[in-house]
Amino acid sequence: MSLVRAERRRFFKRRLTRWVFPIGLLLLVTIASILFAFHSKPTAEARAKGETAAEAMYQEQVRYYEQYKRECGEKCPEDGWTGPQRSDFRAEDFMPPSFDFKTMYGELFLVWAAIMAMVAFLLGASFVGAEWASGSMMNLLTWQPKRMKVLGTKLGVMLLSVAALSILALGVWTGILWAAGEFRGTTAGLTPGVWESFGLTALRGLGMILAFAALGFGLASVGRHTGLALGAALAVVIVGQVGLTILFQMVRVPFWEQYLVPVHIFAWMNKEVKLVDFSSPETVCDNVGNCNPPELLITWQQSGSIALALVAVVLVLAFWQMRRRDIS
Amino acid sequence: MAAVLEIQGLRKTYRARGGPRRALDGFEMYVEAGQVHGFLGPNGSGKTTTLRTLLGLIKPDSGEMRILGQELPRHLPQVVSQVGAIVESPQFFAHFTARDTLALLADAGSLPSERVDWALELVGLRERAKERVKTYSLGMKQRLAVASALLKQPKLLILDEPANGLDPGGIREMRDMMATLSAGGMTVVLSSHILGEIQLICDSVTIISLGRRVAAGPVAEVLQAHSSGQVKVALETPADLSAAAQVLIASGFQPQLNTDHLTLSGVDKPALIARLLAERQLYVSELTPVTADLEDVFLELTGTAPVPGQVRSVDQSVRPELTPQNGGAA
Ligand SMILES: Nc1ncnc2c1ncn2[C@@H]1O[C@H](COP(=O)(O)OP(=O)(O)OP(=O)(O)O)[C@@H](O)[C@H]1O
Ligand SMILES: [Mg+2]
């Protein structure tokens, strides 16, 4: 398995790996640290301050209400509003926010997955793209002429390395957020069920990261250049996404959001996304007589299948080309 | 002696933008074990294409190839560890050091890491091995390329223009290195445009033009077969040169009068000249066949000698007729 070792060494020796991953990690650390900094534990003093502030706000609102009553007198509309309620003014709203690990961590998986997916796309694309562009692929093939094996090993090693880096990043991310829960909020309510759900979300996140890595790898290999993968990504974002949005809004395609990549990323990470077509003239009524605009549910299974098919097509193309083409 | 490299009827057509381009058209080549074999041809004649095809980088349309008796490209994986190659100034990853570059290749080929230092030493790069390839000069990159080909300690070494960018000292070192390697039993195939160099180090040559072989064999034989039978004639009394010219013209030769000698072409038996002149009391002091050098032969065979006032396009060279062996009609 010397080829595996060579590729692994090559991956971690690369300048891009040594720059892009730390930058991604730094981004995650920064975001997590900001979350940490802007939350704090509810101390007795802070609670007292919050109570005072809530009470003061309540009193002020009551004063406004009474003044309003005086001014309109008889002409006041009979809307059944009896003025501000004390229970609406909670001390928590007047205290620095505290970090609830259980809800926050679950929602923030997307941040980790999105940042690492970008890192993975870049690393995957440049790992093979630079190899083609520099001519060292040709060199390598004079050492190991089995092309499928060479490309397959590269892909495998790249995916495993990206997975390792992503898990490392998740560890750091989790560590800081956990600390935020411990010191700036609460880590209560973490039942085994919650952990299981975290685990599954993390796995889906990892799947997404690896899909992006493989996509970058496949595109760069087909185009024999990192630039092709980056260009394709840019084209999808600008032409595909921005352009489609404008076009679809003009011609009123129902549920046009389903053609946008971020919608599927959300669906994948949050298990589903419900699209509502407010612009539709029709409504859907249930048997009780409640009528709503039509809805479309996108599940993570659907988004996942689409992504899998796309990645598979690109990789098949890359390997098929590798088998056939003249290398010069 | 056993052939280390055999090529027969090799054809390759590139699909290029300007239509199909026939780079190899029934090419053949044989290299015997232990030889240093020169592979010559004008620009675009198909040398690099041949070497790439051998290494499995390009798929030929048809033809047979063997290295060390193994059929290619089918058995390439079995022989690849015995074949070290550089193909037209290979490019390396610019941000890796020379040592890393070679170490990664050694890893890929399951070679011991001591080989890396050995190869670097051999090409004189040991001192600068920790610097990034990006900072290397052209010749240093070329040396690194040669080191990468030597790393396997191969039985067959294929070098496509290895002298490209080397300094005179480097060229001489390369020559000595090849002599040593070939003395140690390595077979070397060397493509180069520096014909003086080829003549000095090669045992045999193959000359290619427009994808077909125009000449092959030991250097001396190729030179002899294609020297045009010219002889140089000098007389004991140079004043008699024009008299001698008259005599020879009378005998049907076409001598060329130079300041101190005559040159004759189409001479089969030089002794005849001496006798003809001696009969008229003209005594020959020197009668030597004019040896063409490899450059002359090359230019003649490929038809690429420059003609004053004419610009030759790259693809303008001799396309020899196909012989029965390389797929032509018998
Ligand atoms: N990838 C390619 N696509 C199309 N045509 C090619 C390709 N590579 C080479 N050729 C053509 O094939 C012919 C042979 O090229 P090759 O590189 O084998 O020549 P060469 O003998 O190595 O020349 P040089 O001495 O200049 O290195 C040329 O006409 C060239 O234009
Ligand atoms: Mg060439």
List pLDDT tens digits, range B244-292. Answer: 888 888 888 888 888 888 888 777 777 888 888 888 888 888 888 777 7
Is A141 found in the same domain as A51? no
Query: What pLDDT score was predicted for residue A23?
Result: 96
DSSP string, A145-206: --HHHHHHHHHHHHHHHHHHHHHHHHHHHHHHHHHHHHHHEE-TT--HHHHHHHHHHHHHHH
Is position B32 within any domain?
yes
DSSP string, B103-131: HHHHHHTT--THHHHHHHHHTT-GGGTTS
Question: Binning pLDDT at 50, 70 and 90, where does residue B228 land?
Answer: low
Is A219 found in the same domain as A71? no
Chain A residue at shortest CA distance from B80: A143
CB contact under 8 A, A145 and B104: no
Cβ-based neighbours of B121, under 8 Å, separated by 6 or more? none
B292 torsion bin: left (phi>0), alpha (psi -120 to 50), beta (else): beta
Q: Which of B48, B108, B152 sits opposite A140 (nearest CB)?
A: B108
Is B171 found in the same domain as B60? yes
Is B286 found in the same domain as B249? yes
> What are the angstrom distances between the C-alpha of A181 and each of A105, A107, A169, A173, A246?
9, 14, 18, 12, 42
State the ligand closest to the CA atom of B86.
2
Q: Which of B176, B206, B225 is the last residue of a domain?
A: B225
CA dihedral (A74, A76, A78, A80) positive or negative: negative
User: Which amino acid, residue B41?
Assistant: G
Nearest to A143 by CA among B43, B77, B88, B209: B77
Q: How many CA atoms lie within 13 A of A48 on its CB side?
A: 3
Cβ B84 vs Cβ B150: under 8 Å: yes
Secondary structure class of A275 (helix, strand, coil): strand
Tell me what the pLDDT averaged over chain A comes to: 90
Q: Which of B50, B67, B95, B130 to mutate to test the interface with A (most CBs of A within 10 A)?
A: B95
What's the whole-model pTM score? 0.85
Is A139 found in the same domain as A26? yes
Cβ A316 vs Cβ A215: under 8 Å: no
Residues of B in contact with A326 (CB under 8 A): 14, 52, 57-59
Percent of chain A at pLDDT > 70 equals 100
- Mark the residues whose beta carbon lies below 5 A from ion ligand 2: B 47-48, 88
State the ligand closest to the CA atom of A328.
1
Question: Binning pLDDT at 50, 70 and 90, where does residue A316 land?
Answer: very high
Is B51 found in the same domain as B185? yes
Tens-digit pLDDT profile for residues A179-202: 999 998 888 888 999 999 999 999
Residues of A in contact with B77 (CB under 8 A): 145-146
Is B237 found in the same domain as B188? no
Is A105 found in the same domain as A88? no
Q: What is the ipTM of this complex?
A: 0.80
Domains contained in chain B, number: 2
d(CA B182, CA B157): 10
Domains contained in chain A, number: 2
d(CA A295, CA A298): 10
Cα of B11 vs centre of ligand 1, distance in Å, is 13
CA-B193 nearest atom, ligand 1? 25
Domain containing A286 equals 2-41+100-324
Tens-digit pLDDT profile for residues A269-282: 999 999 888 877 77
> Is B47 touching ligand 1 by the criterion CB < 6 Å?
yes
Domain containing B150 equals 3-225
Q: Which of B76, B94, B152 sits opposite A145 (nearest CB)?
A: B76
The winner for highest mean pLDDT among A46-60, A209-223, B132-146, B222-236 is A209-223
Is A293 found in the same domain as A262? yes
